[in-house]
Every structure is written in C-alpha cells, then in structure tokens.
Amino acid sequence: MIQKKLEVIYKPFDKATRVPPGTTLFSAAHWIGLPIDSTCGGRGTCGKCKVQVLEGGAEITTADRKQLRAAELEEGWRLSCQAKVYEDTTVTVPELLRVPKAATMGVNRLVLLDPNVRKVFVELAEPSLTDQRSDTERLRDALTAEGFDMKVELRVLRTLPSVLRDAEFKVTAVLGGDRLIAVEPGDTREESYGVAMDLGTTTVVGTLMNLKTGMAEAVRSTLNGQAPFGADVISRISHGMQGDEAKTELRDAVLRTINTILSELYESAGVGRDRVYELVIVGNATMLHLLLGIDATPISMMPFTPAFTDPLYVPALDAGIDIHAGGYVQTLPVVGAYVGADIVAGIMATGLAREDKMRVFVDVGTNGEIVLGSLKRVLCTAAPAGPAFEGSQIRCGMRATEGAIEGVTLTDHVELQVIGGDIAPRGICGSGLVDTVAQLRLAGLLDAGGKMRSREEAPEHPLSDRLIMVDGVRAFLLAENVYLTQRDVRELQFGKGSIATGIKVLMDVMGVRATDLDEVLLGGSFGSYLNPESAKIIGLVPAVDVDHILSVGNTAGEGAKMALLSFRERQVAFELPDKVEYVELSGRSDFNDSFVSVLQFPELETVQ
C-alpha cells in the first residue's frame, strides 16, 4: 500500500515538496535542491542545520536539547536532520552561513560537495597531572567542539598514543561519518581521496575522486574477471552452486579486478593508497553478493530473494579491497533481486525521482532495468532481455572492442562505423546490431514481422547482392565474413520485445501514454552508443520524438561519484527504495499479451 505523502513548505523560499511520513526535514529539503547548512553529515552533532517549525509538529529530540537553547526549543527551532515529518509542515530556513562548494555531475545535476569522509585538524592540549584525560577522550572532546562525533576501533587505538606524541599532539583526524578511520601527524587536510566503482557484470569502471575539489583524478576500466564463469549473473550463480570453492573463485576473480583497477588509479594519479579513505561501489544485487562472499543462490530462484537490500558500510580490510587500511566500502541500496544499486545510482544521476518531468530510464543489457516516473510517483521493473544486446548469441556478434561494427547506414551502398577506425570489421556489437536491423527496415529488406527478404524477392534492390544464404538461413552481408542472419533478427526481436514489454507494463500501471513522456533516457555502456533513432525504429523505446530520446551514459558510475562526494546525495540514495515501487513482470497476467503486441517492429509511418 502506498503511503500518503505529506507536504513540506520551506520559507522564505516558498519551495515545497511532498515526502513519505518519517522523512527528515533535512532530507526533504535536499530532495528539492534546497541546501541546509551542516558539517556533521546529518548526525545531529554540529547544531548548524536548525530550522523553525511554523506549522505542523516536530518532537524535541535528545540532540535538540543538547544543541539548542531552551528558548529556541520553545520558539519551535529543531535540528532538521533529526526532525521527522508526520503531518503537513511549514518551516523557516536560516540563511546559509557559508556558500557550499558544488560540482556538476550526473545528468546536469548540481551536487554540493559534502563528502562523508571529513578531515579535521586539531591541536590538542598535552596531558598533565591536572589533565589526565585519555588520548581517546582528549581527541573526542576536540572533535565534539568542532561538531563531530567519533567512534574508535581497536586498529586505530593501537597506534593513537605514538601518533599523538610523535606529532606533538598536532594531528588530523580522518572520519568516515562518525567512524575514526585514521589519526595522521600534522595537517593533511589537502590530501583526501575516494573511489567510485561501477561493478558491472561485463565491465568494471573505477574513478579516483579528489574529495576536496570534487574532480576526477583518474579513471580506469576493464572486463570483469568473473567472465570465464559465465556472461550473465545466472551463469555465475550456477557456478557458485558447485560449492564453497566455486564461490571463492568468483569472489577472488572480482577482487583481483577491483584491486588491479585501484593500483592503476593510484599510479596514474600519483596518489598513495593511504590517502584513499572510502570506496562507494554500485552494481546489481548478484555482483554485490559475489563480491562480499554472500550466497546469491536464492536470487536465481522463485521468489527471488537477496540476502540483503540495505546499504552496507563495511571495513575495506574485511571486504578485501585495497584502500586505506582503516577505510570503508559503502554499497548503495538494492530495490530488488534484479533492480540493483546500479539502478538506484542511475535514478540519482538522472534526477528522475526529483523532477516533475515524466521520464522513462532504461539500462539496456542482458537484464534490462526500467524506471518510469517523476517526483510524484516512480515505478521500476526488470526485463530478461537476453544476451543479444551484448553481442552474444549473434552469429557474428562480439563485444564493443576493436574491430566491432558499431554503426551502420544503408543507402544504395553500405557504410560502416568500426571501433578502432580504418580497420577490417571482425564482427557486430550491440549498437551495430540495432543499427543494422533498423536500416534493413528502412531499406525495405525486413518486414514488420522481422522476416528478411531474399535476393529473389528483391532482385531490383541496389543491395540485393548483399542478401545471401548461410547454412540455409537468410542473411545480410555487411563486410567480408561479417553478416546478420535471420536468426540474429529473431534474437534481437525477443530482446527488444522483453524491454518494450517492461516499459509498456509500467506505462499501463502508471496510466500514461507515449505522448505523456517528456524524455526517454538510455543508460549503461550500451545505451551510451545506441542510436536513438534506431532504438525507436525497432520499437525498443516508445514512439516519442527522437529529440526526446537521450543517451545519458554511465549513470551508475555517476551516481556512485555523487554518493562519494556528498553525504546528502548518499542519503537520497538510501531513501530511494522507499519511494520506488517494484513491479514483478513474471507474476503479471498481462505480460504475455503485452509481449506479443510489441514483438513485431513498428510500422515505419508511426516512427518517422
């Protein structure tokens, strides 16, 4: 059952938003891009995020009593990070005491630079007979005065006495939220880094970020080392079912991939691992389970239940990830077994759930994830598209590497775009596959049902000599030894039909038509290279104006960077699963009818 949303109005800006009960005033403000001052990461320790409640109620919390005077409490002042909304509310927000740094990230989103990792330089009073506070108490008192809370673990405690005395009690405390990551001698505030990691089933991308400036220092990507165990998550889960040794193989493979990327990032940027304090990682539920050594078997079976969906904040040492020895790894939440943290990151990066525009976001791949909605309501689902879009199960298919045909234009001759430039084509990748089928439709060599014409059926066509037979199957010759077969067309039809069905089901549930859509966003590595017009011609996306079909790139990686650079954005990510409704396609009686209705290619007059 959908919770009734409550209205919150912020004076003097007259900005309003509607949020589920239990949302804090601080989070609700950030949801609509209204910054409220804070230095403690919304933990109620700095006292800077206070607002005055004019209408509605907000209970007085322990943090309120600690940070605010009695007279302020009487006048309705509350810490916005602690005040939860349970009725329509109006508040006044004081003017910002500082202008926060910001950076443009994601899809033209302005992100306030407030990382979860904070470095605080303190000059401590040395111990004496009249001041016999413990080293921990001494450091905690200094951080409390700066508005920070601190939890100390044994690893840091073991080195604390020597570090403080060698540095003459002039040190920099490194905090990950309220966890004490390290105490460093001297003032090291200018050296603070983190890594955003997109753990894809096929490709892993890591970005080393400067937490002071918000700038990327280095980027590296490589194929996921788990590839030999299967191209898709089900194959990898099946491998893991062979026993603990198989699960260890999967975990070791992906850890080698991640740590190799980290090593290359450090070398490229000239940054030491001891200055990299946090890694935010996103991926689908299966990838996160396999990374952390958690059994993913139940994800592959009805009723598809992961072991966890909540965000995890785990010590890097426990995770086996090579950043600072006291650093932490943050995962983003998972919506469901097949709508993972990478899609949550994509929703963040596109702002889909925070704007009035009605948009559909599609991450096209072996498993096609689809999100539809706006600020008012958001739906999502996952559609098993199969491996065609990755170039797999296609006769001449290949990954998007050197020698792959990535773009096709058919006129009275064949024009090819090949990855690597002026080299001989070796095969077809996903974007080339979609282009080829779309161009065959436009050229009149493929009917709406997906049947390819033979040379005998089109003797006068300028490309008739390209219509060949391969092992008794009709095919179209693109280049020497590279061709598209009739079976390849069928593979694409089933893949695009699955995704198009997912979109149609969500639109039916939402009660919207193609004319109601403001934008169609194509995400993921494949979506970045997909020709929007070709996507429309084959019916992969709804029939909207081609100018409204946008490739938005690696939104998973962008969302991970946003969460790394801003605790505010991270909180948005944590709240997204409560705002997104998951629609399970396999349990719907209308799925088959919808699938059959979109399996054919659209009539050309409807897409031109």
What angle separates helix 567-579 from helix 341-350, to the nearest 10 degrees? Answer: 110
Domain ranges of the chain: 6-98, 117-185, 193-331, 344-386+513-606, 388-491
Nearest alpha carbon to residue 561 among 111, 254, 176, 202: 111
Tens of pLDDT along 247-298? 999 999 999 999 999 999 999 999 999 999 999 999 999 999 999 999 999 9
Token reading at 536: 């429309």
199 with 105: CB under 8 angstroms? no
Q: Which residues of the chain have pLDDT under 70?
A: 1-3, 97-100, 387-388, 391, 525, 605-608
Third-level CATH fold of 344-386+513-606: Nucleotidyltransferase; domain 5 (3.30.420)
Q: What are the DSSP calls for 331-369, one per residue?
A: EPP-SBTTB-HHHHHHHHHHTGGGSSS-EEEEE-SSEEE
- Burial class from Cβ neighbours inside 10 Å (0-12, 13-18, 19+) for residue 267 reads exposed
Nearest alpha carbon to residue 47 among 94, 114, 11: 94
Q: Residue 389: its pLDDT value, please?
A: 74
Architecture per CATH, 193-331: 2-Layer Sandwich (3.30)
Sequence-separated (6 or more) residues with CB below 8 Å from residue 510: 372, 373, 377, 379
Third-level CATH fold of 117-185: Ubiquitin-like (UB roll) (3.10.20)
Q: Residue 1: its pLDDT value, please?
A: 43
Token reading at 513: 């038509």
The whole-model pTM stands at 0.88
Separation of alpha carbons 338 and 336, rounded Å = 5
Helix (H, G, I), strand (E, B) or coil at 534: helix
Say how many residues make up the chain: 608
> What residue type is 167 in one-letter code?
A
Edge-to-edge strand order for the sheet containing 77-79? Answer: 15-19, 6-11, 89-92, 50-55, 77-79
Tens of pLDDT along 552-576? 888 999 999 999 999 999 999 999 9
CA 387 → CA 137, 390, 432, distances in Å? 57, 5, 14
Widest pairwise Cα distance in the chain: 102
Tell me whether domains 193-331 and 344-386+513-606 share a fold. yes
Token reading at 69: 């005077």
Three-state SS string across 225-273, please? CCHHHCCCHHHHHHHHCCCHHHHHHHHHHHHHHHHHHHHHHHHHHCCCH
Strand pairing class (109-112; 102-105): antiparallel
Domain 6-98 classified CATH 3.40.50.720? Answer: no
Q: Residue 184: its pLDDT value, please?
A: 96
Q: Residue 99: its pLDDT value, please?
A: 63
Side-chain-facing half-sphere of 256: CA atoms under 13 Å:
11
Residue 396 φ then ψ, to 5° = -110, 25
Helix (H, G, I), strand (E, B) or coil at 44: coil
